[in-house]
Amino acid sequence: MHSCDCNEQVLARLPYTTQVDMWAIGVIAYILLSGTMPFDDDNRTRLYRQILRAKYSYDGEVRPLYSLLVKLLMKS
């Protein structure tokens, strides 16, 4: 199974901007909240397509400790 936290700018070979950093923060937050990667597929082409389309889903529960973290981050 392939998993990736590459930003769509990186995959499209666009210049690196602060959006890449924000994307990374989002991926890290997703992993902390869910315990899984936001983009995951056995097929690398489908995986990259998911990233480029920012297509992800989350069906699980948010862990209570991380829920507090999100509330604190949203206040900033």
Residue 1: pLDDT band (50, 70, 90) is very low
pTM of the model: 0.61
Instruction: Identify the CATH number of the domain in which residue 11 sits.
Output: 1.10.510.10
Give the pLDDT confidence score for residue 73 in this predicted structure.
Answer: 75
Domain that holds residue 36: 2-75
Number of folded domains that form the chain = 1
Residue 62: pLDDT band (50, 70, 90) is low
DSSP 31-62: HHHHSS-SSEESSHHHHHHHHHHT-----SPP
Residue type, 34: S
**pLDDT tens digits, residue range 11-60?**
767 777 888 788 888 888 888 777 888 888 888 888 888 888 887 777 77
